[in-house]
Amino acid sequence: MSDRWVRRLIFTVCAASVALGTAVGFASFASAAPTGQVYIVQAIAGTTVQIAVDGAVVQAAAAPKAVIGPLPLAAGQHVIKVTAGSSTLRSARFTVSGRDSLDVVVHRASDKAMSPAVTVFKNDLSAVGPGKTRLVVSHVAVAEPADIRVDGKPYFRNVANGESLSLVVPARTYSLDVVATAGGRAILAPVQATLAPGTLTRVFAFGNPDEKTSDAIVQVVPVTVVGAGRPTSVHTGDGGQAADEIAGSHPLPWVALAVGLGLLGAVGGAGVAGGSVRSLAVTGGRQRR
């Protein structure tokens, strides 16, 4: 077998592998529509509701403090409908962009009618350092603007219904409470929250202090940790042993064929497997840092 024939075989197999891999890769990319992760948070105190998204019931009897999801929803507009018995409490549209992580919170507004409202908060899933956690406290209570306090210290003042604060803090136990900015009346009594490292922990203050229904909903979502340390060893593999075993009597055609088929199989398998924030009109949560 001549060296020229060997070189031609290697070139032909590799070119075919690359061409097919490119075609399958583009097809997989085109067919993989990005989806968002959406959580529905039930923050209407004293009422059990049915929640439907895009006409499909996702929870027939969602009690107060229920967190439903994550629901994988395609990018674009969606409709949430909240009902109690035969009455529709609220119907609203919200938008998912790309691979968003969203909290869609059903609660009561702080107006005189205490109308049911839907507020959308975007979850910040960016990485935190070792031993750290991201704490987000949101005000969705039927109450006036408030100060959010951590361990008795007001971190943000004059936070209105539908707003939140975000902090990256060491992972440990904190005391959280919410008091009215004017007058200092308690909206949420102190809550002990133990925050685990490598998480986003959301605390929603909801309910009506006048009716003594104030409470907190705690939601925990894992996030990536960066700077966690250096590897103690790097495994370099045993490629040299395999090369020694196949050395001898013109292995190149068979190596080229095996590499080409291996690439085709890997690519084919991958193609099959591929699968402060201002408010939206719905009312979207505003996040203050």
What are the structural domain ranges in the chain? 36-227+279-283
Can you count the helices (H) and strands (E) in the chain? 3, 17
* Cβ atoms of 91 and 115 closer than 8 Å: no
> What pLDDT was estimated at residue 34?
82
What distance in Å separates the CA atoms of residue 130 and residue 226, rounded to the nearest whole number? Answer: 7
Which residue, 148, 151, 189, is CA-closest to 165?
148
Cβ atoms 54, 94 nearer than 8 A: no
- Which ranges of the chain would DSSP assign to H, the alpha helix? 3-31, 239-246, 252-273
pLDDT score, position 98: 86
- Please answer whether residues 219 and 103 qualify as being in contact, where contact means their C-beta atoms are separated by less than 8 angstroms: yes
Give the predicted TM-score (pTM) of the model: 0.71
Instruction: Give the three-state DSSP class for 152.
Output: coil
Q: What is the pLDDT of residue 88?
A: 97
Q: In sequence order, what are the residues at sequence separation of 6 or more whose Cβ sits closer than 8 angstroms to the Cβ of residue 84?
A: 47, 48, 49, 50
Q: How far apart are CA 96 and CA 71, in angstroms?
A: 11
For residue 258, the model assigns a pLDDT of 44
Q: What is the predicted pLDDT for the residue at 2?
A: 56
pLDDT at 15: 52
Q: Tens-digit pLDDT profile for the chain (289 aa)? A: 555 554 565 555 445 554 545 444 434 333 456 899 999 999 999 999 999 999 999 999 999 999 999 999 999 999 999 999 999 999 999 999 988 999 999 999 999 999 999 999 999 999 999 999 999 999 999 999 999 999 999 988 999 999 999 999 999 999 999 999 999 999 999 999 999 999 999 999 999 999 999 999 999 999 999 985 555 444 444 444 333 433 344 444 444 444 444 434 444 444 333 333 333 335 556 555 5
Q: State the amino acid at position 219 in one-letter form.
A: Q
